[in-house]
């Protein structure tokens, strides 16, 4: 009796792959060459960017660019963004399963405040296909450059605003504190794209545990185009609830006190304050 070897050809070939890239913040100028080459070589490019300018630029690199924005709630519709994100991922997986090279081009850094990319990569790998992410220029990178701050000088902490409010985060007042998506502060339903003045005031009151109402803070918005200037609005913390915000507004809270030396550690290392200049 002759036993035939298993027919390996019956196993589906999985040549599809997903590459998530970042377009940077400023149109065309902040995207890496490797990311551009993937966009050019892709069978299909899915985009999740904030403006039509970027979509039109992507269309000059690839003939099949499909915006994922249509999966968000449309006019008058109430829709949980988690559902939108999964629909976006499902759309990409259809093409990956068809053994296509799929690129997802996302605004800024593809892995920063972008759960779509992380969901898509995880689900693509679970199906046995190849998936990876390339780094991009984030809004945080632009923030340090535009404000002329070296975050290494005193350190920094970074939180999504609503998460900062709902969980027991304690900021180090000797370091910079960055709160992202402050226009959504306190909005937990994932169905709205804005918050209320009352919720913003609750955030202000929460922050007064560590900062005075007179403490200077910055409302920051990175520029999307090279011809634009970033928004750098310096206000007092107590004025925050009355300031007009957008979905890309970020709050930077500078240190309220200088760094404090750890004298016990200095002794262990045999370092004096004089040694530190």
Domains of the chain in start order, with CATH, are 13-137 (3.40.1010.10), 140-253 (3.30.950.10)
**Got the DSSP string for 83-147?**
HHHHHHHHHHHHHHHTT-EEEEEESB-TTSS-HHHHHHHHHHHHTT-EEEE-----HHHHHHHHH
Write down the pLDDT at residue 1.
Answer: 39
How confident is the model at residue 277, as a pLDDT? 76
Active site residues: 81, 85, 107
Mean pLDDT of the chain: 93
Helices then strands, counting H and E runs in the chain, come out as 8, 10
Residue 75's pLDDT is what?
79
Residue 189 has pLDDT above 80, yes or no: no
pLDDT value, residue 9? 56
Torsion of CA 164, 166, 169, 174, to 10 degrees: 40
* Tokens encoding 113: 């405040």
Query: What was the pLDDT predicted at 10?
Result: 61
pLDDT band at 114 (very low <50, low <70, confident <90, very high): very high
Confidence (pLDDT) at 240:
97
Q: What is the phi/psi pair of residue 269, to 5°?
A: -90, 0
pLDDT band at 4 (very low <50, low <70, confident <90, very high): very low
The whole-number pLDDT of residue 26 equals 92
Instruction: Check whether 2 has a pLDDT greater than 70.
Output: no
C-alpha span between 68 and 266 (Å, rounded): 54
Q: What's the whole-number mean pLDDT along residues 9-27?
A: 88
Q: Which of 58-62, 70-74, 177-181, 215-219 is least confident? A: 70-74
Which tokens is 140 given?
């945080």
- The DSSP H or E segment spanning 156 is strand 156-160
pLDDT band at 7 (very low <50, low <70, confident <90, very high): low
Judged by DSSP in three states, 183 sits in helix
Least confident of 47-51, 124-128, 133-137: 47-51
Q: Which residue has the tokens 């559902």?
A: 83
């Amino acid at each position: 009796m002759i036993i035939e070897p298993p027919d390996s050809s019956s196993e589906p070939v999985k040549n599809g792959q997903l590459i998530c890239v970042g377009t940077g913040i400023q149109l065309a100028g902040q995207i890496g060459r490797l990311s551009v080459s993937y966009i050019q070589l892709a069978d299909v490019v899915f985009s999740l960017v904030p403006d039509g300018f970027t979509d039109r630029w992507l269309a000059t690199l690839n003939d099949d660019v499909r915006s994922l924005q249509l999966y968000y709630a449309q006019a008058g519709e109430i829709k949980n963004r988690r559902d939108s994100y999964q629909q976006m991922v499902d759309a990409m997986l259809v093409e990956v399963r068809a053994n296509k090279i799929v690129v997802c081009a996302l605004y800024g850094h593809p892995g920063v405040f972008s759960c779509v990319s992380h969901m898509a990569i995880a689900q693509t790998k679970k199906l046995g296909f190849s998936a990876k992410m390339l780094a991009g220029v984030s809004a945080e990178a632009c923030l340090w450059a535009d404000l002329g701050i070296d975050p290494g000088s005193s350190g920094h902490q970074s939180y999504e605003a609503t998460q900062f409010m709902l969980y027991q985060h304690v900021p180090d007042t000797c370091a910079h504190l960055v709160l992202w998506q402050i226009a959504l502060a306190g909005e937990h339903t994932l169905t709205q794209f804005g918050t209320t003045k009352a919720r913003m005031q609750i955030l202000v009151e929460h922050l007064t545990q560590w900062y005075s109402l007179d403490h200077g803070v910055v409302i920051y918005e990175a520029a999307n185009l090279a011809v634009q200037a970033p928004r750098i609005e310096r206000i007092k913390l107590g004025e925050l609830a009355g300031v007009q915000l957008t979905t890309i507004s970020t709050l930077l809270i500078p240190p309220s006190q200088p760094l404090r030396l750890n004298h016990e550690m200095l002794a262990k290392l045999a370092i004096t304050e004089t040694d530190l200049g």
